[in-house]
Structure 1
Amino acid sequence: MMIPQQQIIFDLDDTLIYCNKYFDLILDQFYETLQEWFAGERLTTEEIREKQIEIDVAGVNKLGFASEHFPRSLIETYLYFCRAYKREPVKTEEEQLLLLGRSVYDQEVEPYPGMVETLESLSKAGHILYLYTGGEPAIQQRKIDKMKLASYFEDRIFIRQHKNVEALEEILRLNQFDRSVTWMIGNSLRTDISPALEAGIHAIYLKQEKEWVYNMVELQQKPASVMYTINTLTEVPRVIHESIQIHQQKKTLG
């Protein structure tokens, strides 16, 4: 059975390459640092984590994926506890946290297991691959170049600071996607899967063991779209091809 050509859009961070684990490493250092600075207050890791998440999520909702947002969330969390415990903020400590937060963007770029295998398989099957990522162009482009992803996506790469249904709709409309054969592959329910389903395209959710709380939302699916959940990137070609075959069989029987 011939598999019709599909238009497959991939997310980048925590779909094709690792990302959140580096933020977690920086946050672990941040928790330890604040506990040292507030040693007399018995500040717990959970207290720091909850406040940083609250500030982090609020900032992303407002500013999108701006690079300075994460370092600022560390500083704002520090300042919150300074106010809470009537501790005078120290400028050098704020500067230390700024450097700590910025260091997350200097981490190595590491592909997810099966990244090349998955992209090769889909390309050889004749599908058209697209890359759609959130963040600042210079930072995201460095990752793309490091992984030599242009060899698969060519000029079909979209980088947006705000990654939501409006951004996805603009990409789909301006590039004249056929939504009946378009897929979104990503790890974020909020920025990948929910917008895809709202836009009426198919979606594959790459579930993570430990997910950033910002990415978790309830989904509303349109009748024309389908959604699958997978645990490994290498499942993508099989899921897409099996879904197409089931659809073709239904059409034949119907």
Structure 2
Amino acid sequence: MNKQTILFDMDDTLLYCNKFFDLVVEQFSDLMEMWFHSFHIPMDEIKKKQADIDLQRVEQSGFAPDHFPQSFIDTYEFYSEMTGRLKSEAEILQLMELGRSVYGHDIEPYPFMYETLTRLTEEGHELHLYTGGEPQVQMRKVTEAGLERFFADRIHITRHKTTEYLESIIRNNQLDRKVTWMIGNSLRTDITPALKNGIHAIFMPALQEWAFNNVKIDTEPQGAFLTLSSLAEIPDAIRGYLENAATG
């Protein structure tokens, strides 16, 4: 099989991520329920306000570590002003610390992550890691998961994953689009940019998906566009596509 260049997203493709944010949002909801109980505000309404604030910031300026905890504070201040409940510096500090706690959890790989990366490496493919977020936070995950042995210096981190940034990776590394793949869970930041850049794409839907990632695909694939449910399926799926392309 011809050598392929394979770019992997990290959060919710190789390592669990969204579920930890969801857990912290539940803790935030519990605090808001306790503090604003007498005002009878539906918790779903509070969660939606927080999600909307967080989403707006990410759309404007990408991923920054203070966005998430700040969304807690902004939501708290919104309802404090709406209800007339006095703000508390201690409560604001508690929310900031809660929001930041999401970045300190232990890493948890998706099933078959190590086996899949090992097999692809042994088959001679060149693996890249392409992830969005704060470089220091993301590199901690890379180190704790032991991912350097698969990706070496081919690790690309940006706060804002865009079609243009992916294009710069392809150009700067002189990647051949005909043998280059992007694998990720985000239709917005992984799959759409891959298709617009004319490379192969494998969509790995997350069980718990963030609204930010859900967009419609409006680009015609120039190569493979596959949807898989397990990392373990990737090597055979790539092999099968290449064999069909060679005989077709």
Answer whether TM exceeds 0.5 for this pair: yes
Match of 1:132 in 2: 130
2-structure distance, mates of 1:140, 1:134: 8
Q: 1:42-76 CA deviation, whole Å, 9 max, x = no partner?
A: 12221011111110110001121100110001111
Match of 1:208 in 2: 206
Give the % identical residues: 47
Is this contact kept in 1: 2:128–2:151, CA < 8 A?
Answer: yes
Match of 1:176 in 2: 174
1-structure distance, mates of 2:234, 2:47: 33
TM-score of the two chains, using structure 2 as the length reference: 0.97
Instruction: Report SS of the residue matched to 1:112.
Output: coil
1-structure distance, mates of 2:55, 2:223: 28
Q: What is the correspondence of 1:4-19 to structure 2 with a 5 Å cutoff?
A: 4-19=2-17
Name the aligned partner's letter for residue 58 of structure 2.
V
2-structure distance, mates of 1:199, 1:46: 38
**Residue of structure 1 aligned with 2:142, choices 141, 144, 159:** 144
Instruction: Report SS of the residue matched to 1:29.
Output: helix
2-structure distance, mates of 1:205, 1:223: 13
Instruction: Report SS of the residue matched to 1:242.
Output: helix
Q: 1:193-235 CA deviation, whole Å, 9 max, x = no partner?
A: 1111111111111112220111110112334132111111111
| Structure 1 residue ranges without an equivalent (≥5) | none
Across the aligned residues of Structure 1 and Structure 2, the Cα RMSD in angstroms comes to 1.0
2-structure distance, mates of 1:249, 1:149: 35
TM-score of the two chains, using structure 1 as the length reference: 0.95
2-structure distance, mates of 1:49, 1:227: 34
Match of 1:71 in 2: 69
Q: What is the correspondence of 1:100-249 to structure 2 with a 5 Å cutoff?
A: 100-249=98-247
Is this contact kept in 1: 2:131–2:156, CA < 8 A?
Answer: yes
Q: 1:90-121 CA deviation, whole Å, 9 max, x = no partner?
A: 11111110000000011001111100110011
1-structure distance, mates of 2:226, 2:184: 11
**CA deviation after TM superposition for structure 1 residue 87, in Å:** 1.9
Q: 1:114-168 CA deviation, whole Å, 9 max, x = no partner?
A: 0011001111111100000111111111110111111011111101111111111
Q: What is the correspondence of 1:32-71 to structure 2 with a 5 Å cutoff?
A: 32-71=30-69
Is 1:27 equivalent to 2:28 in the alignment? no
Name the aligned partner's letter for residue 63 of structure 1.
S
2-structure distance, mates of 1:56, 1:92: 22
Match of 1:91 in 2: 89
Instruction: Report SS of the residue matched to 2:81.
Output: helix
**Residue of structure 1 aligned with 2:80, choices 74, 79, 82:** 82
Is this contact kept in 1: 2:195–2:221, CA < 8 A?
Answer: no
Name the aligned partner's letter for residue 18 of structure 1.
Y
Is this contact kept in 1: 2:131–2:158, CA < 8 A?
Answer: yes
Is this contact kept in 2: 1:9–1:130, CA < 8 A?
Answer: yes
2-structure distance, mates of 1:221, 1:123: 30
| Structure 2 residue ranges without an equivalent (≥5) | none
Count of paired positions:
248
2-structure distance, mates of 1:80, 1:226: 46
1-structure distance, mates of 2:143, 2:238: 27
**CA deviation after TM superposition for structure 1 residue 77, in Å:** 1.0
